[in-house]
Structure 1
Amino acid sequence: MDTLLSAPILFFMLGSIIALAGARIPFPEGFDKALAAYLLVAIGLKGGVALTTADTATVLPLLLTAGLISLLMPLLGFALLRSAVGLDRVNAAAVAAHYGSVSLVTFVTATKVLESSGVPFGGHMVAALAIMEGPAIITGLLLAGATGVTAVAAGAGGGTMSMPIDDGRDEGRDEERGGSLREAVREAAFNGSVLLLAGSLLVGLVIGKPGLEKLSGLFVAPWDGALSLFLLGMGYLATSRLREAASLSARLIAFGLVMPLLGAVIGLAAASALGLGLGDAVLMVTLCASASYIAVPAALRHALPTADPGLSLPLCLGISFPFNILVGIPLYVAMSRALLG
């Protein structure tokens, strides 16, 4: 209950109410993007400073595990989407890639919950966040590419799908899929949000605690207010996407609720195997339970244009994101406490 009554969560609910009322939030143009950039820099700086005292023997296995989970998680999502939901291979691969990647805002909200509860966590979890952004994109493209579907762009927002028949042009298709994979890897590695987060992490590592103290007036003190404003906008956006999600099938909506829970179980098992403390475990569980709505859509928009963003974005933003914010994070804290104490 304390989590639901915290200022950021209340502002998230306020944004939802404004959207349901059919009104608009009078943010100036680009304000939400500026807030997102601020949050990336702030969380990166604090994570980098915390890394200055981190134990390498603990951090390296964690980061390797985080990357491996992101690489393999889409396999589970893909299997469920194909067998239980009945999606075609390309869309199943695209949606699964979203759920193998991570959500910055869900992660940041979880850190705020931990801070409010006085539960410590390590800055290396920010590095885990950065590492888990990209591997799922590669897996998603490999899953889609195995079908013989040619990714042919049709303008900026769509494409055409060819049937997987043997027409003697497999070599050309392999080249197209290879190009799509290279493009997606490049997009994932050089995505602006990923670079900003990783760069801020390095800056924090270099300047250390004394350097951060000099910047505390900008990146520490205003943190709660900036997060509250950002979640106000995210509540509005998520509820707007929820209206679009109403057109999704019941099975796909069920996937959007079940997949975060399956990811949470995987994250909890990994946290237990790695011997993580409570705070780090909660963040690992949260990362595994979250879904991307920034890095993955940007990478797949060009690399897999035949996939329908009208499935993945409403599902991630309209179903899984609010579920994680309002229900998931308190549940993940309780799960971690029950297992790790």
Structure 2
Amino acid sequence: MPIDVLSANLASPALGFFALGVIATRMKSDLSFPEQAAKALSIYLLIAIGFKGGVKLRAEGFTSELMLGVTAGLFLAITLPLIAYAILRWFTPVSTIDAAAVAAHYGSVSVVTFVAATAFLSAMGESSEGFMITLLAIMEVPAILIGIYLARRGGASTGNHRFIDSLTHGPVILLIGAAAVGCATGEAGMAQLEGFLVTPFLGVLALFLLDMGIVAARRIGELKKAGLRLLAFGMIMPLIGGSLGVLTGTAIGLTVGGVTLLGVLAASASYVAAPAAIREAVPDANPALSLGLALGVTFPFNLIVGIPLIYTAAQLLA
């Protein structure tokens, strides 16, 4: 990884605020974020990234590249949870049900990691295809359904989750809805909202990552009894997923920015949509394992090392 790419990422104010949240929590500080404020920041980020993606999608049009991208996204969303499940069953001591639950999280995607990657690409002066936001929405659901199937095949009790519940999950609705509004209004709509959705974006991201740093530091404690193999999985799986995403994006001819975002999506792990769905559908699974790994290990790993590493790989293969 070129030192200038890593240095640019480490010098990001947003990453600095994430580190501040982690350090403050580990120092037993009472620093905390009001729950409603954190939700408001999350809503803003989802609307901003969805709207901007929709505007870019309208400018590019519905092309064969879009269909290739959708196919690639579905391929990754189906393949990654199966790979994660196989590694967990072979390499770690977790049960079949917990392996299925963790696999669902690692096959699904992290919206916040995607947002951080778009900010990183902007700092690097790179653009990406407008339909990447579409892939983000598409890749959230299949892995969750596969994880539920694997868990139930392994003897998990039947929960209350339905397929429609994944499609109507709040973040998915916001992303798709904001992208639809952006696609419908195009550049004219962007001109009206630029001062709200573009200029403050990095500042809002910094505040949100401060809260994420606090939450991530708290989750680390839940993994003390998990064992080194499970902790290693939290760093090995993003490397596998990121590599597969970069190779897939390069194969279908995406730009460096597009390859980077697809790689980041494949490397990320869900800690919003997947936990909500798995909690309802697989109540026998231990949520501390899935959330602790996704948020306490994989999220900071991708934020600090994964994104610049994937970007470097995309540049080398371009």
For the superposition of Structure 1 and Structure 2, which TM-score range results when normalised by the shorter chain? over 0.9
Instruction: Give 1:58's aligned residue.
Output: 65
Q: Does 1:331 align with 2:309?
A: yes
Q: Answer whether contact 1:137 1:185 (CA < 8 A) is retained.
A: no
Classify the secondary structure of the residue corresponding to 2:317: helix
Q: 1:211 to 1:23 in 2, by over 3 A?
A: same
Classify the secondary structure of the residue corresponding to 2:11: coil
Q: Answer whether contact 2:32 2:214 (CA < 8 A) is retained.
A: no
Q: Which structure 2 residue ranges, 5 or more long, are not aligned?
A: 1-6
Q: 1:195 aligns with which of 169, 173, 197?
A: 173
Shift of 1:80: 0.7
Q: 2:41 aligns with which of 12, 35, 59?
A: 35
Instruction: Give 2:115's aligned residue.
Output: 108
Moved segments of 4+, more than 2 Å? 24-29, 147-152
Show CA shifts across 1:152-202 (max 9, x none).
6xxxxxxxxxxxxxxxxxxxxxxxxxxx5xx24222111011001100000
Q: Answer whether contact 2:239 2:267 (CA < 8 A) is retained.
A: yes
Which of 298-307 and 62-71 deviates more?
62-71
Q: Answer whether contact 2:77 2:108 (CA < 8 A) is retained.
A: yes
Which of 219-228 and 66-75 deviates more?
66-75
Q: 1:186 aligns with which of 143, 149, 164?
A: 164
Instruction: Give 1:146's aligned residue.
Output: 153
TM-score by length of 1: 0.89
What is the rounded CA distance, in whole Å, between the counterparts of 1:5 and 1:211 in structure 2? Answer: 32
Q: Answer whether contact 1:70 1:136 (CA < 8 A) is retained.
A: yes
Identity across aligned pairs (percent)?
43
Classify the secondary structure of the residue corresponding to 1:266: helix
Shift of 1:311: 0.8
What is the rounded CA distance, in whole Å, between the counterparts of 1:244 and 1:149 in structure 2? Answer: 22
Q: 1:212 aligns with which of 190, 198, 210?
A: 190
Kindly report which structure 2 residues correspond to 1:270-309, keeping only aligned pairs within 5 A, or say none.
Answer: 270-309=248-287
Show CA shifts across 1:119-153 (max 9, x none).
1112211111111111101111111122243336x
Q: 1:118 aligns with which of 125, 131, 147?
A: 125
Amino acid paired to 1:82: R
TM-score by length of 2: 0.95
Instruction: Give 2:211's aligned residue.
Output: 233
Instruction: Give 1:163's aligned residue.
Output: none
Which of 289-298 and 240-249 deviates more?
240-249
Q: Answer whether contact 1:4 1:10 (CA < 8 A) is retained.
A: yes
Shift of 1:26: 4.6
Kindly report which structure 2 residues correspond to 1:6-25, keeping only aligned pairs within 5 A, or say none.
Answer: 6-25=12-31
Shift of 1:44: 0.5
What is the rounded CA distance, in whole Å, between the counterparts of 2:51 and 2:79 in structure 1? Answer: 29
What is the rounded CA distance, in whole Å, between the counterparts of 1:61 and 1:293 in structure 2? Answer: 27
Classify the secondary structure of the residue corresponding to 1:263: helix
What is the rounded CA distance, in whole Å, between the counterparts of 2:154 and 2:269 in structure 1? Answer: 24
Q: 1:214 to 1:147 in 2, by over 3 A?
A: same
Show CA shifts across 1:37-94 (max 9, x none).
0000000100000001225110111012102211221110111111111321111100
The structure with more radius of gyration: 1
Instruction: Give 1:48's aligned residue.
Output: 54
**Alignment RMSD, CA only?**
1.2
Amino acid paired to 1:142: Y
Classify the secondary structure of the residue corresponding to 1:234: helix
Show CA shifts across 1:211-237 (max 9, x none).
111111211111011001001111111
What is the rounded CA distance, in whole Å, between the counterparts of 2:278 and 2:208 in structure 1? Answer: 25
Which of 95-104 and 5-14 deviates more?
5-14
Amino acid paired to 1:134: V
